[in-house]
Structure 1
Amino acid sequence: MVLLICASFVRVQRHNIFKKRLDVHGKVVNAPKPDAINAPKVQKPLQKHGGRLEHNETYCGSCFGAESSDDECCNNCEEVREAYRKKGWALTNADLIDQCHREGFIERVKEEAGEGCNIYGKLEVNKVAGNFHFAPGKSFQQSAMHLLDLMGFITDSFNVSHTINELSFGAHFPGAVNPLDKVTNIQKDLNGMYQYFIKVVPTVYTDIKGRKISTNQFSVTEHYTAGDHGPRFVPGVFFFYDLSPIKVKFSEERPSFLHFLTNVCAIVGGVYSIAGIIDSFVYHGHRAIKKKMELGKLS
């Protein structure tokens, strides 16, 4: 199963996201490649030609009824699938599409069965409520709804078991605890949807030298939905976050000399008191034992 990251309902400003394919044993299949969230599409020059590709002729593949204009071309399997997505049609059998059959799309999907992925990087977004998620398939918009195309997979079940190695909203500061670090969830059903509802709290940390770190803390609530619950059910891992109106400030301060002297006196006094108690206990114990020994000799 190949998981793709999708950023929805939130405008991604900049990102540095990488994906690595992993086999069933967790080993990297190929080198990591950057994801293309909100990346502009490259407009290819139109290649007009009908029918089969001949020598020294350009190729204009059919979109199989999904063309948005008479001169639109679909020269590979992905372009046919994209045309179908724009129409809102389901591509039920990709092997019947010439481009997909020629590229071995079905065989390639079968080869990737049982695979997973490792996704890492950073996202820079606006300071508004939003979500990001990891789900199988490719995302697209239709009728103001965010949908995922799952027709390219030869299965109705998706295993979205996952481990969150690290998740943070901002720079690390001393004493920070991220509640989702090292969290593992193993899916036990055919399909599952994991939802993490995150409350982000803006935080300012000031160290002893007066240097400030503007970052965030967060709390989280988990929810799991098993099985297929209709067309709105999408297998995947979803992170919904919202910003708290309250800001937390931490600051390091060096105690004054008077405070230090008071602590030293308290420590010395405590040691003296404990020493007196121990001395008294030993003294009275010794006297009691000595007295018993004297009474034993007299008798």
Structure 2
Amino acid sequence: LVLSFSVCFCITLCCNTCDDVREAYRRRGWAFKNADTIEQCKREGFTQRMQEQKNEGCQVYGFLEVNKVAGNFHFAPGKSFQQSHVHVHDLQSFGLDNINMTHLIKHLSFGKDYPGIVNPLDETDVTAPQASMMYQYFVKIVPTIYVKTDGEVVKTNQFSVTRHEKVANGLIGDQGLPGVFVLYELSPMMVKFTEKQR
């Protein structure tokens, strides 16, 4: 009892906010299970906030600049951090049975559009059949040059995609993390199109 009390006492003294407490737990490798037992989290209404947000969705848009090498990007719940040189997400406050990865990809391209280009993930609408699904989109990018009739050259890319999905348990390794992952690699070939004159 004394050891347990001193650990909790230490956390209470060293951390001013619920986020500070959660970070201290993460650094120690402890599970953050019941926020209602922690004074800072009770004071900030952490549990109530999580309940209010549990059915919310989000809209993400923007641009990424990446090197011309294989890579990935993803959208996943929880605060992300590095642990032992591994990218991890803290899902403790969500509970794995509450994570709905239903998603709509309005538009995804790797470079500028040109007349006639088909971006195969545009308007992809996926309804998750159950909680904690992991969706992986394996993308093959082909560098493309499009030459317009006026001589303007558009350097861009086109791509093909394969989708894989599975139930994730939120752990590192084969079981995966709930989320939407785009894993891409570049083709060593290039395609060139020349616009036809009308």
TM-score under structure 1 length normalisation: 0.58
Matched, 1:203 2:144: yes
Unaligned runs of 5+ in 1: 1-61, 66-71, 256-299
Contact 2:11 2:24 (C-alpha < 8 Å) held by counterparts: no
Contact 2:96 2:169 (C-alpha < 8 Å) held by counterparts: no
Unaligned runs of 5+ in 2: 1-8
Matched, 1:179 2:120: yes
The higher relative CO (CA closer than 8 Å, separation ≥ 6) is in 2
Matched, 1:167 2:108: yes
Bigger radius of gyration:
1
Deviation at 1:204, TM superposition (A): 1.1
Q: C-alpha distance in 2, partners of 1:153/1:254? A: 57
Query: What's the secondary structure of 1:120's corresponding residue?
Result: coil
What pairs with 1:115-154 in structure 2 (closer than 5 Å)? 115-154=56-95
Residue type at the aligned position of 1:134 = F
Q: C-alpha distance in 2, partners of 1:63/1:114? A: 34
Equivalent of residue 177 in structure 2, options 234, 238, 257: 234
Deviation at 1:144, TM superposition (A): 1.9
Deviation at 1:82, TM superposition (A): 2.0
Equivalent of residue 64 in structure 1, options 8, 11, 18: 11
Contact 1:81 1:91 (C-alpha < 8 Å) held by counterparts: yes
User: Residues 157, 231 of structure 1: CA spacing in aligned structure 2 closer, same or farther, 3 A cutoff?
Assistant: farther
Deviations for 1:51-83, whole angstroms, at most 9, x for unmatched residues? xxxxxxxxxxx7618xxxxxx943211122123
Q: C-alpha distance in 1, partners of 2:56/2:137? A: 24
Deviations for 1:22-70, whole angstroms, at most 9, x for unmatched residues? xxxxxxxxxxxxxxxxxxxxxxxxxxxxxxxxxxxxxxxx7618xxxxx
Contact 2:80 2:87 (C-alpha < 8 Å) held by counterparts: yes
Deviations for 1:107-135, whole angstroms, at most 9, x for unmatched residues? 11111121111111111122211111111
Q: C-alpha distance in 1, partners of 2:17/2:117? A: 49
Q: C-alpha distance in 1, partners of 2:172/2:190? A: 39
User: Residues 230, 87 of structure 1: CA spacing in aligned structure 2 closer, same or farther, 3 A cutoff?
Assistant: closer
Deviation at 1:187, TM superposition (A): 1.0
Identity across matched positions, percent: 54
Query: What's the secondary structure of 2:108's corresponding residue?
Result: coil
Contact 2:74 2:181 (C-alpha < 8 Å) held by counterparts: yes
Residue type at the aligned position of 1:242 = E
Match of 1:103 in 2: 44
Match of 1:89 in 2: 30
Match of 1:259 in 2: none
Deviation at 1:227, TM superposition (A): 5.4
Match of 2:6 in 1: none
Residue type at the aligned position of 1:170 = G
Match of 2:159 in 1: 218
Contact 1:63 1:80 (C-alpha < 8 Å) held by counterparts: no
User: Residues 63, 249 of structure 1: CA spacing in aligned structure 2 closer, same or farther, 3 A cutoff?
Assistant: farther
Residue type at the aligned position of 2:133 = G
Moved more, 83-92 or 239-248: 83-92
Query: What's the secondary structure of 1:92's corresponding residue?
Result: coil
Deviation at 1:226, TM superposition (A): 2.6
Match of 1:249 in 2: 192
Query: What's the secondary structure of 2:117's corresponding residue?
Result: coil
Structural RMSD (CA) = 2.1
Q: C-alpha distance in 2, partners of 1:63/1:209? A: 71
Q: C-alpha distance in 2, partners of 1:124/1:114? A: 31
Q: C-alpha distance in 2, partners of 1:188/1:215? A: 35
Deviation at 1:94, TM superposition (A): 1.6
Aligned residues: 188
